[in-house]
Chain A
Amino acid sequence: MRENTIRYSIWSVLAMLLLVAAVKRENHFGRTNKTLGDTLDWPKSFGFGKKASAKQIAAWDIDISPDGKGLPAGEGNVSRGREIYALKCAACHGATGTEGPNDRLVAAPDSAGKSSGARRIKSIGNYWPYATTVFDYIRRAMPFNQPGSLTDQEVYSITAFLLNANGLWDDKNTLNAKNLPKVKMPAQDKFVPDDRIDGPEIK
């Protein structure tokens, strides 16, 4: 009997300690789910999954950073881009990239804050902060009805054409991995990180 009582109290002390530990962790992560034990007794690695091969990563790793990291080899020019645009893009974005019906792709750099009808003019020339994003997005998602169908060369050409139409690229120059990240985008300086914080301030 006595022994049982002692064992019992040891267990309750242990349980209390565990509970305290759990509550502490919970506060630390701000979670509401109470999970006892958590990661304490986890192995260093569960060993699930397999190593990703360089080939598999390369097949999917298509993102392009503002510094140009990820841009493929190749080059394009405005006149070729104009042809492809007329063929594969104009139906949805308009003959000059301003008519729609889908997103406007051309805006003069000085049209920031101006409106067309009820809509504020917002496009590559006056809103997009990085030229690399134009290449990245078109290559991954356009044309909308045939995503991922363009060659890298075609994407360079369309990008050159769109930058030119937005007043940001000379139609005599070819566009490539070296000079695309250097295109200065007029709106870049306007971008500021979110400054809202917890608390009563309305921002």
Chain B
Amino acid sequence: MNTTNDKNDSAGIRISRRNLLAGAAAATVVLVQTAQGKAFQAALTQAENMSDDPTKVPGVPPGTLGTRSAFEKPVKAPSDTSSRTPLQDLYGTITPSDLHYERHHGGVPAIDPAKYELVIHGMVDKPMVFTLADLKRFPSVSRTAFLECSGNYRGSNDGKLRPQEICGLVSQSEWTGVKLSTIFREVGVSPKASWFLAEGGDAAVMTRSVPVKKGFDDAIIAYAQNGEAVRPEQGYPARLFLPGWEGNASVKWLRRIELSDAPFMTREETSKYTETVAGGKIRQFSFTMDARSVITYPSYPAKVEAGWIEIRGIAWSGRGKIARVEVSTDAGKSWKTAALQEPILDKAITAFRHLWQWDGNPTEIMSRAVDETGYVQPFLKQLLAARGGNMGYHFNPITAWYVQKDGQVLFKAT
């Protein structure tokens, strides 16, 4: 038995935690000896280690897992069916994996990666089954892209909505996995196959039909997210990822793919994820997420002071790159081009900023995204007019923020 390899004691510290804390209560500085004989400040958490002057207290030693500062508490906002990303609390473009939005139809399953299997069959030369280890052996790919639920809009009359409530069903990660085209090539997809069914191994055994073309274009079977295994809420151990398309089609906990020459008309592409448009028609297979942007600072519940304010936000489009973001600080009367932060990636969240000197008079600020295809994010009124007065999925209106005289920022519908 080699005590230095004791798993419960990864820093090799020979002292029980209880003794340690007792010691901490008695004295400000607790010295402990590691197995290697080095003296260390006791392994206190950051909160326990708090002091008036951090330069006078040795800090916490290296650990096995990093932690968020005890002062930072960004949290998702859960409902019965989803949980929303706190966009107003984030910086840059990558969503920390534990803050990635959630939407599922039968809860988060617990799947043993050793038992995981993906079956591919139907119109293929070789029906195959792949283990997780098999998937990881194929040539891999990484791609930073957004994922957004097509039901990502909420409004209110009292204005007390944060970006999290309005459009927190969007997040961004670097996804790593195997291209679906690689797997298609391996199993020999029939040239006659035009659709495939993607099925999850969750309690809803969630299914969606996806055009084979998307599978060849840029679909990924992702087993990693932001450098580590995909999180359970995001489809552990492997999920489909369809860049730029409505989140529901990126089936999580992927267990089966069936190639066919017609869509399967599952519940999630008939009863749900379809939208009533003009003339009482119901639009189906509306996969692409239209361009959208939102100012995340200043936004509700922030209160600002007159003077210089850097307006910050994010923009994304399922059709390609963001070409431009325009910002208005006079309720949409005039627009200025915001600065875009590199890198500007295809089908990815792009950060923008615009420096503004607020004179202290009440006003409305808003942003609109323009993508490389020339699509311009519409006002709510325009969207309603185009859809015969219907709301529903794929609702991406310009979000305005009303800045009151006292500096309080409130949501305002456009």
B residues 205-247 near A (Cβ < 8 Å) are 205, 207, 217-218
Residue of B258, B274, B383 near A61 (CB, 8 A) is: B258
By a CB distance below 8 angstroms, the chain A residues around B128 are 49-52
Does A129 count as interface, using CB distance less than 8 angstroms?
yes
Contacts of A144 in B (CB 8 A): 106
| Cα separation A128 to B345 with both chains bound (whole Å) | 38
Minimum Cβ distance to chain B for residue A47 (Å): 9
Are A203 and B386 in touch, CB under 8 angstroms?
yes
CB-CB < 8 A to A122: which residues of B? 271
CB of A199 within 8 Å of the partner chain: yes
Q: Which of B118-132 contact A (CB under 8 A)?
A: 119-121, 126-131
A3 within 8 A of B: no
Within 8 Å CB of A192, what residues of B? 277, 281-284
A30 touches B283 (CB 8 A): no
Q: Is the CB of A128 within 8 A of B271?
A: yes
Range for the number of chain A residues in contact with chain B: 35 or more
Q: Which of A184-203 contact B (CB under 8 A)?
A: 187, 190-196, 198-203
* Bound CA–CA A51/B316 (angstroms): 40
B375 close to chain A: CB less than 8 A: yes
B378 at the interface (CB under 8 A from A): yes
Q: Is the CB of B373 within 8 A of A49?
A: no
Can you name the residue of chain B whose Cβ is closest to the Cβ of A35? B141
Contact of B127 among A51, A66, A193 (CB under 8 A): A51
* Alpha-carbon separation in the docked complex, A152 to B121 (Å): 23
> CA of A140 to CA of B197 in the docked complex: distance in angstroms?
14
With a cutoff of 8 Å between Cβ atoms, the chain A residues found around residue B382 in the complex are 202
Residue from A39, A48, A147, A148 having most chain B Cβ neighbours under 10 A? A48
Q: Within the assembled complex, what's the spacing in Å between the Cα atoms of A120 and B204?
A: 24
Q: Is A141 touching B282 in the complex (CB atoms < 8 A)? A: no
Report the stretch among A6-14, A73-81, A130-138, A169-177 that lies at the interface.
A130-138
Closest to B141 in A: A33
By the criterion CB–CB under 8 Å, are B376 and A200 in contact? yes
A36 on the B face (CB < 8 A): no
From A56, A137, A193, give the contact of B285 (CB < 8 A).
Answer: A193
Contact A49 B134 (CB under 8 A): yes
Report B294 CB to chain A, min CB distance, Å. Answer: 18
Partner of A191, one of B205, B218, B282, B374: B282
Rounded to whole angstroms, the CA-CA distance of A35 and B266 in the bound complex is 36
Contact: B373 with A199, CB < 8 Å?
yes
Q: B127 — which chain A residues lie within 8 A by C-beta?
A: 51-52, 57
Q: Determine if A57 and B282 form an interchain contact, defined as CB atoms under 8 angstroms apart.
A: no
Contact size class for B? 35 or more
Q: How long is the Cα–Cα vector from A136 to B168 in the complex, in angstroms?
A: 31
Of the residues B131, B204, B281, B283, contact of A140 by C-beta under 8 Å = B204
Contact between B130 and A196, CB atoms less than 8 A apart: no
Does A90 touch B at the CB level, under 8 Å? no
CB-defined contacts of B134 to chain A, threshold 8 Å: 48-49
Contact B217 A147 (CB under 8 A): no
Chain A residues with Cβ under 8 A from B319's Cβ? 198
CB A51 to nearest CB in B, in angstroms, measures: 6
Nearest Cβ distance between residue A67 and chain B, in whole angstroms? 8
Asked if A113 lies at the interface with its beta carbon under 8 angstroms from chain B, I say yes
Give the Cβ gap from A96 to chain B, nearest Cβ, in Å: 19
Are the CB atoms of B270 and A130 closer together than 8 Å? yes
8 A Cβ contacts from A145-178 to B: 147-148
Contacts of A132 on B, CB cut-off 8 Å?
Answer: 265
Q: Are the C-beta atoms of B320 and A133 separated by less than 8 Å?
A: no
Report whether A141 and B346 are in contact in the complex, using a CB–CB cutoff of 8 Å: no
Kindly provide the distance from the CB of B407 to the nearest chain A CB, expressed in whole angstroms.
Answer: 33
Contact call B130/A49, Cβ cutoff below 8 A: yes
Find out whether the CB atom of B282 lies under 8 angstroms from the CB atom of A30. Answer: no
CB distance from A68 to the nearest CB of B (A): 12
- Asked if B267 is at the interface of the complex by the 8 Å CB criterion, the answer is yes
Q: Is A111 among interface residues, defined by CB-CB distance under 8 A?
A: no
Does B358 interact with chain A (Cβ within 8 Å)? no
- Indicate if B255 sits at the interface (CB-CB under 8 A): yes
A42 to B186, CA, bound (A): 11
Known: A48-B138, A199-B373. A137 touches B267 (CB 8 A): yes
How far does the alpha carbon of A135 sit from the alpha carbon of B398 in the complex, in Å? 40
Across-interface contacts of B281 in A (CB, < 8 A): 190-192
Q: Which residue of the partner chain A has the closest CB to B268? A: A137
Residue from B121, B270, B283, B287 within 8 A of A129 (CB atoms): B270
The answer to whether B271 and A127 have CB atoms under 8 Å apart is yes
**Do B284 and A191 have beta carbons less than 8 Å apart?**
yes
Residues of A within 8 A of B217 (CB): 29-30
Rounded to whole angstroms, the CA-CA distance of A198 and B290 in the bound complex is 9
Complex: chain B residue closest to A134, CB-CB: B267
Contact of B203 among A56, A127, A141 (CB under 8 A): A141
Minimal beta-carbon separation of B143 from chain A (angstroms): 6
Is B45 among interface residues, defined by CB-CB distance under 8 A?
Answer: no
Bound complex: CA of A128 vs CA of B269, how far in Å? Answer: 10
Interface residue ranges, A against B (CB under 8 Å): 29-33, 35, 39, 42, 45-46, 48-52, 56-57, 60-66, 112-113, 120, 122-124, 127-130, 132-133, 136-137, 140-141, 144, 147-148, 187, 190-196, 198-203
Given A48-B186, A141-B105, A194-B284, 18 other A-B contacts at CB below 8 A? A32-B346, A33-B143, A48-B137, A50-B128, A60-B256, A63-B199, A65-B260, A137-B266, A140-B204, A141-B267, A147-B203, A191-B284, A193-B283, A194-B285, A195-B283, A196-B286, A198-B320, A202-B383
Can you pick out 7 interface pairs between chain A and chain B where the beta carbons lie within 8 Å of each other?
A: A51-B129, A124-B271, A128-B271, A147-B203, A196-B286, A200-B375, A202-B378
